[in-house]
Amino acid sequence: MLFLTDPIVLPGMVVPVELDEAARAAIDAARAGGLDAVLVAPRLTEGYASYGVVATIEQVGRLRGGAPAAVLKAERRAKIGHGVTGPGAALWVEAEPVDIAPADGPTKDLAAEYKKLVVSVLQRREAWQVIDAVNQLSEPSALADTAGYASWLTNDQKRQLLDTPDVAARLTTLIGWTRDHIAEVEVTEKISEDVREGVEKTQREYLLRQQLNAIRKELGENEPDGAEDYRTRVENADLPDAVRTAALREVDRLERGSDQSPEAGWIRTWLDTVLDLPWTAKTTDSTDVAAARAVLDADHHGLDEVKDRMVEYLAVRARRASRGLEVVGGRGSGAVMVLVGPPGVGKTSLGESVARALGRKFVRVALGGVRDEAEIRGHRRTYVGALPGRIVRAIKEAGSMNPVVLLDEIDKVGSDFRGDPAAALLEVLDPAQNHTFRDHYLDLDLDLSDVLFIATANVMETIPGPLLDRMELITIDGYTEADKVAIARDYLVPRQLERNALTSDEVTISDAALREIAANYTREAGVRQMERFIAKALRKAATKLSEQATLGYDEDLGYDENVSRETNRVSLDIGLGDLKEYLGRPRFTPDGVERTAVPGVATGLAVTGAGGDVLYIEANAAEGERSLTLTGQLGDVMKESAQIALTYVRSHLEEIGIEPSVLDRNIHIHFPAGAVPKDGPSAGVTMVTALVSLALGRQVRADVGMTGEVTLNGRVLPIGGVKQKLLAAQRNGLKTVFIPARNEPDLDDVPAEVLEALDVRPIADVAEILAYAIEPVAEPAYAGPLAATA
């Protein structure tokens, strides 16, 4: 037996073998035994191979280098048995020859398919002599064993073929391997061809461009968009002197450099940007103040403070122009405002309306989620793909130097390792500085003093203090129920009728239905959700009209007299009683009486990012050591307010009429809607009222709401958001609202109809709230957990 590591010998192969000591012993033993044949098998690390091939010794001699060698001709496959003794130092084993069964039809088909694949591979290699030899083979087993010569098969694959005596299985395996090899070769050839074609195309284009440049040079022509072309454009453009000087300096650099240099592309892009900016272009402001106010009133209901400010701005500019005092750019000639209010009150759409009223171009810049300072100031030109910032791009898009730029969602600007965009806005939004705004990409002074900046935000607390200080603050606190009905009637319903291909003759919605939608289907500060419900009702109405027309109308005969009049109806009136059919049941129902039906529950007022809302505060007591438990995802300020409220009640037990031992228990204060974060000091008076109600066992009036910060001595301090809180109180059906006395001037901003619907009582001491808000002794319906001690 002769072991070989490489190559793997299959039947039919003729291979030269260099003889080491063990191989030499095997050859000598075979010749000494008169066999002139050896059993060739792969050398394995884990033991003997299962199969080998019987090979005759054709010749023994030496290689050109002098090393001993033998030429072996493999003849047939044999299964290796156990070892036996024999002459010489070689290993002798028993081997059983493997008989080859006659090939059947399927095996011959496999052999034919494999032969085609082998010929295809050899044709790619242009091995024509080998192709002739393969074509002469007809026996399937011999054809399969030619894979021993295949260079694309690994030794492990060839060993697997040696260990597979079944011819059909061997051919099936070889067909799969050969197909994979052909697919890999095709992909490699395609990639090589694409690379070769790309290189040739680049070389061809380079030669053609060089020839074209030489021809243009001979004809005395310049290349389009070359340095000379840019010089002409810069000289003919209406640019400020400083900008023209900088642009010509870049043109000089372009002329000195090579067209193939990357810097040439950067300079061209920079020059294109500078030439596209409207350095001296401005629109003429409207001077008709009454017409401007009419445009604002036509587009938006209410929002009088914003409209007044726009009209004032226009009136002042018109008077300065009429007296020859018009400021053409320069320090402080523009205006910067921020509109703060809940979603859906018309802040974003107001910007476009203002631009139309002033006769200016309008551009919207969305700042929500912007975290890169370069988005505002631009990138340095040295960076790949550098662009100017959003402010410069907005001016370029507007095509004038005095547009209305709406900075939407300025309260949602973030900051990270790339810088703070809000800090970059400090220069943009400062009327005393923005006449020399410098973008990193342009690196030129840009005058933004004539731009009217209008920023929008939902909450004021997330706007950085220095940035807020540079803007004129205008708060939009939401709409009253009457405002919502008017907006829906005049704006929302007509718009949704048009979007749903309806007319006012086909569908009408009554004011009572609109009031019900505003009161019990939405309860929002704005009207965005209300518009969605109106759209839903009109879609259902459109569907119903289409069904009626299909059932009762014929193009030739008109309306069928046999069909009921209800079916032939082509108009719908949506009233209060129809809302359940079109919109389902109301989403909101009054629950103040139910929530405050037990002692320890008081109704407070709060402001969120979506406007004002009511906040129920619950207090209860359990047996245990004296402690305070707070739940409801509260911030530090609100936790401190709860401790202050409990301390106030404990220090005024005798005045209030509470036994000293009543509150020596585990007091638990809970703020429902625990998934919503809550913070702020304005719930202090509400917590005091809830604790006193719990201790006395008497419930709080269901129609009373309150807001205000409380001190340890019971003083009520002012808070913010009074208007939004009163609007929320009206929406939720409250009748009496307590506010801090120092917030009484804020009532001037509250709509008259809200003040008429509510009994607003400014108070300076929390005891005034306790005297009115807690039900008298004779009326409690529930004794409470502390009744025994109270």
CATH assignment of the domain containing 497: 1.10.8.60
CB 27 within 8 A of CB 8: no
pLDDT tens for 324-371 read 665 544 555 667 888 888 888 888 888 888 888 888 899 998 888 788
Q: Which of 246, 276, 306 is the last residue of a domain?
A: 276
Residues 448, 392 share a domain: yes
Residue 783 lies in a domain: no
Give the distance from CA 143 to its chain's centroid.
Answer: 61
Would the pLDDT of 473 be above 50? yes
Tokens standing for 378?
């631009």
341 is in an annotated binding site: yes
The pLDDT score that the predictor gives to residue 258 is 67
CB 476 within 8 A of CB 306: yes
Residues 124, 8 share a domain: no
- List residues with catalytic annotation: 682, 725
Would the pLDDT of 470 be above 50? yes
Residues 436, 337 share a domain: yes
342 is in an annotated binding site: yes
By mean pLDDT, which of 317-321, 400-404, 499-503, 622-626 is the weakest? 317-321
The pLDDT score that the predictor gives to residue 228 is 62
Computed over every residue of the chain, the mean pLDDT equals 82
- Looking at per-residue confidence, does 567 or 213 come out higher? 213
What residue spans of 569-705 are helical by DSSP H? 579-583, 592-595, 636-651, 653-656, 684-696
Residue 209 lies in a domain: no
Which residues on neighbouring strands pair with residue 68, listed in sequence order?
62
- Radius of gyration over every alpha carbon of the chain, rounded to an integer in angstroms: 46
Picking from 789, 618, 639, 634, the residue whose alpha carbon sits closest to that of residue 693 is 618
CB 552 within 8 A of CB 568: yes
Picking from 610, 139, 581, 116, the residue whose alpha carbon sits closest to that of residue 343 is 610
Residue 220 lies in a domain: no
Residue 219 lies in a domain: no
By mean pLDDT, which of 161-175, 212-226, 651-665, 692-706 is the weakest? 212-226
How far is the C-alpha of 479 from the C-alpha of 462, rounded, in Å? Answer: 23
Tokens standing for 657?
């009429």
CATH assignment of the domain containing 6: 2.30.130.40
Residues 746, 645 share a domain: yes
When pLDDT is cut at 50, 70 and 90, the band that residue 323 belongs to is confident
Total domains in the fold of the chain: 6
When pLDDT is cut at 50, 70 and 90, the band that residue 105 belongs to is confident
348 is in an annotated binding site: yes
pLDDT tens for 35-81 read 788 888 888 777 678 888 999 988 888 888 888 888 989 888 898 88
Confidence (pTM): 0.61
Residues 420, 306 share a domain: yes
pLDDT cut 90: percent of the chain above it? 5
The pLDDT score that the predictor gives to residue 738 is 92
Beta strand spans in 458-531 (E): 472-475, 507-509
Picking from 36, 91, 84, the residue whose alpha carbon sits closest to that of residue 58 is 36
Residues 529, 381 share a domain: no
The pLDDT score that the predictor gives to residue 92 is 85
Give the distance from CA 607 to its chain's centroid.
Answer: 28
The pair phi, psi for residue 405, each rounded to 5°, is -105, 120
Would the pLDDT of 419 be above 80? no
The pLDDT score that the predictor gives to residue 221 is 61
678 is in an annotated binding site: no
The pLDDT score that the predictor gives to residue 740 is 92
Residue 16 lies in a domain: yes
Residue 784 lies in a domain: no
Residues 650, 576 share a domain: no
The pLDDT score that the predictor gives to residue 146 is 85
pLDDT tens for 153-181 read 888 888 888 888 888 888 888 888 888 88
The pLDDT score that the predictor gives to residue 566 is 47
- Looking at per-residue confidence, does 476 or 332 come out higher? 476
How far is the C-alpha of 160 from the C-alpha of 42, rounded, in Å? Answer: 11
Residue 790 lies in a domain: no
403 is in an annotated binding site: no
How far is the C-alpha of 689 from the C-alpha of 696, rounded, in Å? Answer: 11
Picking from 602, 612, 611, 614, the residue whose alpha carbon sits closest to that of residue 642 is 602
Residue appearing with tokens 């919109």: 583
Q: Which of 551, 583, 615 is the last residue of a domain?
A: 583
Residues 300, 244 share a domain: no
Concatenating the DSSP letter of every residue in 620-650 gives EEESSSSEEEEESSB-HHHHHHHHHHHHHHH
Residue 214 lies in a domain: no
Mean pLDDT of 643-655: 87
Q: Which of 458, 475, 492 is the last residue of a domain?
A: 475
Would the pLDDT of 785 be above 70? no
The pLDDT score that the predictor gives to residue 561 is 46
711 is in an annotated binding site: no
User: Domain range holding 690?
Assistant: 592-773
Residues 161, 142 share a domain: yes
Would the pLDDT of 560 be above 70? no
Mean pLDDT of 433-442: 84
The pLDDT score that the predictor gives to residue 773 is 85
Q: If you ran DSSP here, which 8-state letter would residue 790 be given?
A: -
CATH assignment of the domain containing 155: 1.20.58
Concatenating the DSSP letter of every residue in 37-90 gives EEEEEE--SSS--SEEEEEEEEEEEE-TTS-EEEEEEEEEEEEEEEEE--SSSS
Q: Which residues contact 446 (CB under 8 A, 6 or more apart)?
A: 277, 392, 395, 436, 437, 438, 439
Residues 113, 92 share a domain: no
Residues 91, 130 share a domain: no
Residues 244, 309 share a domain: no
pLDDT tens for 661-689 read 777 888 899 988 777 788 888 888 999 99
pLDDT cut 70: percent of the chain above it? 91
